Amino acid sequence: MKKLFILGIRGIPARHGGFETFAERLSLYLVKNGWQVTVYCQEDGVGDISTSEWSGIQRIHIPMANTGVAGTMFFDWKATVHALGQRGLFLTLGYNTAAFNILQRIKGQTNVINMDGIEWKREKWGLVAKTWFWLNERAGCWFGNHLVADHPMIKEHLATRVSNSKITMIPYGGDRVSDADPTALARYNLEPQGFSVVIARPEPENSFLQIVKAFSSKRRNHKLVVLGNFTPDKNKYHKQVMDAAGDEVIFPGAIYEAEVVQALRYFSRFYIHGHRVGGTNPSLVEALGAGCAVIAHDNQFNRWVAGNAAVYFNDENDCAELFEKYLRDDHNFLIATMKKESTRRFNEKFTWENILSQYEKLLIQWYPKEHSK
């Protein structure tokens, strides 16, 4: 039986983000195909390392008293040290603490690293954090036996660090949403197609301020729903975004009910995607899976993912012009065409079955021969 150990995430079942969702999906897929999968899980609190099983997946629980960045780094360290005593193949999701993976390279373990996006370019980080991420990106390239890039441009970027043959491009996956419950919209006083939606972390590189300013520059007779955990009393950027919003902008906070988020995507007129940094963004893939028409920031990452399912903006003025043009009813046919293209693009490249089968083939290719019996 082939054994896979997954490091670099908070744990499963998924509660935190894209990598956790991917790890859960991949683990369940591999277990169904006869693998033994173990996932390292960070727990709040103190105590000894413990184990459990969830849906046929082995979990190793490492309690951490500190739940902040330092706690996550220490968890990654303890997980890496613990993994040195295991036999099989290792998959590390993200490179934020890739310097620790030198231990696995010294031990002779085989470690495939998903290199995520270009974290050190994100505006939210200060100089120290950017330097740390830049160094760890290099460390991941050096210490990983093989690298996964989730976007062709990420692969191109990594190929400036290592040989192109050391990198495999496999994007992120998502679920096809062919229906949703419209009653989930009632709590926000929304009607199908009467609103557009933004779903992302409220950070500068996700263009929140430009989008909200563009939408609020005039009355639209349309609602803009901006999901995210806004703390204007603590975060200057959050306050700027909320202060720029007109009365047609709704801030419902972070919503964790999957059926509500699904309805907001499915019944929106547009999904607005302002991400400027990164590879294949999970929220954009999920929007395609819901058949959304998309307004996206114009960059090489978004264009490869969304293609003709989106119209693109470069700045606040561009975004305002797109709102002015496409929120009118005389563009309903074009929007319907964009929605069909979202579904076609999603089915072509981003279904979970397609993505996970590619991962299994890669993992089989890199499985240590001495552990294959």
Nearest to 256 by CA among 16, 9, 8: 16
Q: What single-letter amino acid sits at 165?
A: S
Tokens of 123: 């505006």
Could you tell me the pTM of the whole model?
Answer: 0.91
State what percent of residues in the chain have pLDDT above 70. 99
On whether the CB atoms of residues 268 and 246 are closer than 8 A, the answer is no
- Return the pLDDT at 162: 94
Domains 3-173+352-371 and 182-348 share a fold: yes
Locate tokens 């400036």: which residue? 160
User: CATH number for the 3-173+352-371 domain, one of 3.40.50.2000, 3.30.930.10, 3.40.50.450, 3.40.50.1820?
Assistant: 3.40.50.2000
Give the least confident one: 10-24, 94-108, 214-228, 331-345.
10-24
Domain boundaries, the chain: 3-173+352-371, 182-348
- pLDDT tens digits, 97-154: 999 999 999 999 999 999 987 777 777 778 888 898 899 999 999 999 999 999 999 9
Q: Is the pLDDT of residue 197 over 70?
A: yes
Cα–Cα distances in angstroms (integers) from residue 344 to residues 71, 291, 339, in the given order: 42, 9, 9
Q: Is the pLDDT of residue 84 over 70?
A: yes
Q: Are strands 57-64 and 50-54 parallel, antiparallel or unpaired?
A: antiparallel
CATH no., domain 182-348:
3.40.50.2000
Residue 371: band (very low, low, confident or very high) from pLDDT cuts 50, 70, 90: low
- Return the pLDDT at 277: 84
